[in-house]
Amino acid sequence: MVMMAALGVFVFELRTVPYQSLQKQQTWRHGFTQRVARRPAQQFIGPDTDVITLSGALYPSLTGGKVSLLALELMADSGKAWSFIDGTGTIHGMFVITDLQRTHTEFFQDGAARKIDFSLTLKRVDDSISQMLGDLSDQLGMMANGAGEAMKGVLS
């Protein structure tokens, strides 16, 4: 399988969470000081928080589903920042998961969804290269422990 992107140790691909849309918003901060009888004085303060939104539709019988979204939920619950690297190798920085939306539609007779629309929002938090590299072994250990506990809940 070809990787579309990776958030920490979570790989976006057809088997997990293949997104159909990646939107990146970048903003910059400017400060303004009021002046009498003149326009406000402007000062460039620097970059603001980058936001990436991944969205798409999952078909659990063909692509990822409940377990893949659960892995992203566990990552969000950790509160940690994760490196985001796209499939071309571009490193976008360290991001926290701030929002995960799911809409289940087109149900089977047992109530299981045939289709899950999702939207995942990430906000950039890194300032330095050392923070950007992070502690990968910590991330791997946390994911392994969390996935094991989550699978117990899903399978029971």
d(CA 143, CA 148): 8
**How do residues 115-150 score in pLDDT, each as one tens digit?**
999 999 999 998 655 555 555 556 666 666 766 676
> How, if at all, do strands 21-25 and 51-58 pair?
antiparallel
Q: Which domain holds residue 53?
A: 5-155
**How do residues 63-79 score in pLDDT, each as one tens digit?**
778 888 999 999 999 99
pLDDT for residue 139:
61
How many domains, the chain? 1
pTM to 2 decimal places: 0.77
- The string of DSSP codes covering 78-129 is HT--EEEEETT--EEEEEEEEEEEEEEEEE-TTS-EEEEEEEEEEEE---SH
* DSSP 8-state class, residue 142: H
Radius of gyration of the chain (CA): 19
60-64, 97-101, 114-118, range with the lowest pLDDT: 60-64
Residue 102 maps to which CATH number?
A: 2.40.30
pLDDT for residue 129:
55
